[in-house]
Structure 1
Amino acid sequence: MAINRTNQQLVNLKCSVQNYDWGRIGHDSQVARLFESNCGDQIDETKHYAEFWIGTHVSGPSFLQGSDNDNVSLKSWILQNPKVLGDVVVDKWGYDLPFLLKVLSIGRPLSIQAHPDKELAGSLHKLQPNMYKDSNHKPEMALALTEFEALCGFISSEELDVLLQSVPEIKQVVGNAYNEQILTVNKHNNGVVKEERVIRSIFTKLMSVNREVISKAVSRFIHRLSKESETRQLTNKEKLVLKLEKQYPDDVGVLAALLLNHVKLETGEALYIAANEPHAYLSGECIECMAASDNVVRAGLTQKYMDVKTLCSMLTYNQGLPEILKGVPMNQYVRRYTPPFEEFEVDQCVLDHGASVVFPALPGPSVFVVISGEGSMVTSSCEERVSEGAALFAPAGLEVRVNTESELQFYRAGVNNKVILNP
């Protein structure tokens, strides 16, 4: 497959893997199995395999498959063949993929974090380029491959009131900040409490308290829960906190988790997260798609660098449960997940034995990743056999027919169709 090949063919990709310590170990990780099939590398049963990346981001680039092209990155190939992106994408985002597709295998909770909007991302990248690798924002969506748990967004005002009454350990840490905020808001708003200001004040106070105070508060809370578990059934959130404390003892994130919504997804459900929204993935495996960025601002449940001041100042402080996407059927085999972001949408496709489906030609590019099964992807000029771990780039304007002789599960990511059809 030469670099000057026609722009109207599927391009097989050799993809990158990330071995973060929260990933699953060895072949227990879907990411590891995909990587092994995709690249032929032997899996180390002692290593954590966290993320499988399909895209052009510098932190985990994909390369063209084939003996003549192992050192040709997808990014450089696109730069030399910009028509593969389509005019709409080039006009809006330039000569690069605007999205990044990943598969995640989560063995332990990720940090409490948020992703900056474009303006903040630009500033952070300029000030700390080694920490913030690019200047783009990172809205994202997680689509569950298995049962999946996450923390996302702040609990409602009603839940917050109950929490502060039932968890004295938090009230002791933030009580003054809470009471002062209520009094200030009441004084200036004729008794109408501005909910955002209250949750902002409480979260900022909690995250800013010194580690010794947090350690004592966490210890008291865990001790009380352990005693109470002998006489009553703990709530799911309380059980989660006990689990988090074992993995991250004395961490402020143990208490901060109580302020966030605990969300459970069934297979095939999706959760989307806008810029500046707090979240932490807890367990499970998922397809993740996002704007092409790797910027993360952390402030809990981590041993990595925590930028508490930036995180507290950037958050939107929206309250209430997040929207769960269940996908819209496009036909009997394909469901489409479209978050309110321009850069991407994701199709889930599960083909039965002997089934076939067509992905129409679009004005923008797509990438495919095969999760399980075997089949073929057919265009007007070629046929590619695909199986678990296969990753392919489809240029703009290319119709792809997928056939299978066994059950085949794969995902397609592309630019949000609303942008493509209404540029």
Structure 2
Amino acid sequence: MEDANLQRLHCSVKNYDWGLPGHVSEVARLHALNSASQLHAEDPFAELWMGTHDSGPSFLASSNRNGNGVSLKAWISENPDVLGDKVLHKWGSDLPFLFKVLSVGKALSIQAHPDKELARTLHKLHPDLYKDANHKPEMALAITSFEALCGFITLKELKGVLHTVPEIVELVGATNTNLVLQTNDQDGEEKVKPVLQAVFTDLMSACKDRVTDAVNRLKSRLLKESEVRQLTDKEQLVLQLEKQYPADVGVIAAFFLNHVKLNPGEALFLGANEPHAYLSGECVECMATSDNVVRAGLTPKHRDVQTLCSMLTYKQECQQ
């Protein structure tokens, strides 16, 4: 006998331009099974949402979505016992998480998700951009080979970048460069963090003309050097990002972040205020119920550079 509390859902799909084409996208395959709709093989299918968030709500399949469809949020509100006593006591009568499937065809934005305090402030000031007042810690579990940028590289690695990528030095200036080169891990987080914040903020805040010139010179140099040596993984990634987002500051910012490669079944945790960007592959995500994203690179969408650079923890790690 079918459990009366077990409900089949119709889920929302997002066709962001970074999604994989329908004929190779897991999101598209699941959406076709879920909705019985005909797919356009070349259209991008990026995300399938399962949850109650207003930006992409799920509906009960037994209801009429074209008329008076019953949303999962409304149904849970009317049947709160399905959440269990502990969830009800802690989070109230709403689903406390959002579950997604992602099919990533090209890089997502360099971004971070605010903690609860900042989320409340951003939502109050800019509700059109920041849709809710909740934080958004998230975990991504790879279902194919999956690549991402996550967290800042070590101080030692950053010094190596400044020695080998002159285009960054030209953008951030000699003062910032010398501050990094003169700083050591033994100085402690209190000294390292403001140095890293200063150099990263100056990079992300550089004017468009200077960024365009730096990215073009970086591209030319790497292509020329590729004829006489094997480029590093990060250098190859930078050239790939430049093809996707020409003249974007995020191309250069990639040098500051860890390049993570996951095998199927491996996972990545992204806490509040941690920089990251998914690059390629497919994954399932579970996060707090929120749609708050602060972006600053590799995107045609709104950029909030000042907020992103001020909110980051500047921890030099990535949790896998």
Describe the SS at the equivalent of 2:33: helix
Match of 2:91 among 81, 90, 93: 93
Match of 1:53 among 46, 49, 53: 49
What is residue 43 of structure 1 aligned with on the other side?
A: 39
Report matched runs for 1:3-402 at 5 Å.
Answer: 9-66=5-62, 71-179=69-177, 181=179, 194-320=191-317, 322-324=318-320
Q: CA deviation at 1:90?
A: 1.4
Q: 1:285 to 1:89 in 2, by over 3 A?
A: same
- Letter of the 1:143 counterpart: L
1:142–1:270 contact (8 Å) kept in structure 2: yes
2:110–2:277 contact (8 Å) kept in structure 1: yes
Q: 1:183 to 1:44 in 2, by over 3 A?
A: closer
User: How far apart, in 2, do the equivalents of 1:278 and 1:285 lie?
Assistant: 19
List per-residue Cα deviations over 1:214-258 (Å, max 9, x = no partner).
Answer: 111111111110000000000010000000001111100000000
Please, what is the CA RMSD of the aligned residues? 2.1
What is residue 367 of structure 1 aligned with on the other side?
A: none
Q: CA deviation at 1:24?
A: 0.8
User: How far apart, in 2, do the equivalents of 1:78 and 1:13 lie?
Assistant: 13
Q: CA deviation at 1:43?
A: 0.8
2:159–2:180 contact (8 Å) kept in structure 1: no
User: How far apart, in 2, do the equivalents of 1:71 and 1:8 lie?
Assistant: 18
- Letter of the 1:135 counterpart: A
User: How far apart, in 1, do the equivalents of 2:83 and 2:3 lie?
Assistant: 10
- Letter of the 2:308 counterpart: L
Q: CA deviation at 1:7?
A: 8.0
Q: 1:183 to 1:247 in 2, by over 3 A?
A: closer
Q: 1:193 to 1:161 in 2, by over 3 A?
A: farther
Q: CA deviation at 1:194?
A: 2.1
What is residue 333 of structure 1 aligned with on the other side?
A: none
1:185–1:192 contact (8 Å) kept in structure 2: no
User: How far apart, in 1, do the equivalents of 2:163 and 2:169 lie?
Assistant: 7
User: How far apart, in 2, do the equivalents of 1:192 and 1:63 lie?
Assistant: 47
Which structure would you say has the larger Rg?
1
Count of residue correspondences: 316
What is residue 404 of structure 1 aligned with on the other side?
A: none
Q: Answer 1 or 2: higher relative contact order, Cα 8 Å, separation at least 6.
A: 2
What is residue 394 of structure 1 aligned with on the other side?
A: none
Which range moved further: 265-274 or 217-226? 217-226
Describe the SS at the equivalent of 1:11: coil
1:121–1:295 contact (8 Å) kept in structure 2: yes
1:177–1:201 contact (8 Å) kept in structure 2: no
Q: CA deviation at 1:185?
A: 7.3
1:143–1:269 contact (8 Å) kept in structure 2: yes
User: How far apart, in 1, do the equivalents of 2:190 and 2:64 lie?
Assistant: 65
Q: Give the TM-score normalised by structure 1.
A: 0.71
* Larger proportion of strand: 1
1:145–1:267 contact (8 Å) kept in structure 2: yes
Q: CA deviation at 1:9?
A: 3.0
User: How far apart, in 2, do the equivalents of 1:120 and 1:208 lie?
Assistant: 21
List per-residue Cα deviations over 1:25-56 (Å, max 9, x = no partner).
Answer: 11211101100001111112232110001111
- Letter of the 2:198 counterpart: S
Q: 1:172 to 1:95 in 2, by over 3 A?
A: same
Q: 1:68 to 1:180 in 2, by over 3 A?
A: closer
Q: CA deviation at 1:88?
A: 1.2
1:185–1:193 contact (8 Å) kept in structure 2: no
Q: CA deviation at 1:174?
A: 1.1
Question: Any gaps of 5 or more consecutive residues in structure 1?
Answer: 1-5, 325-423
Describe the SS at the equivalent of 1:110: coil
User: How far apart, in 1, do the equivalents of 2:240 and 2:201 lie?
Assistant: 24
User: How far apart, in 2, do the equivalents of 1:148 and 1:251 lie?
Assistant: 23
Q: CA deviation at 1:170?
A: 0.4
Q: 1:43 to 1:60 in 2, by over 3 A?
A: same
Question: Any gaps of 5 or more consecutive residues in structure 2?
Answer: none
Identity of aligned residues (%): 61
Q: 1:164 to 1:86 in 2, by over 3 A?
A: same
User: How far apart, in 2, do the equivalents of 1:190 and 1:155 lie?
Assistant: 17
User: How far apart, in 2, do the equivalents of 1:169 and 1:117 lie?
Assistant: 33
2:143–2:265 contact (8 Å) kept in structure 1: yes
Q: Give the TM-score normalised by structure 2.
A: 0.94
Q: 1:166 to 1:96 in 2, by over 3 A?
A: same
* Larger proportion of helix: 2
2:177–2:199 contact (8 Å) kept in structure 1: no
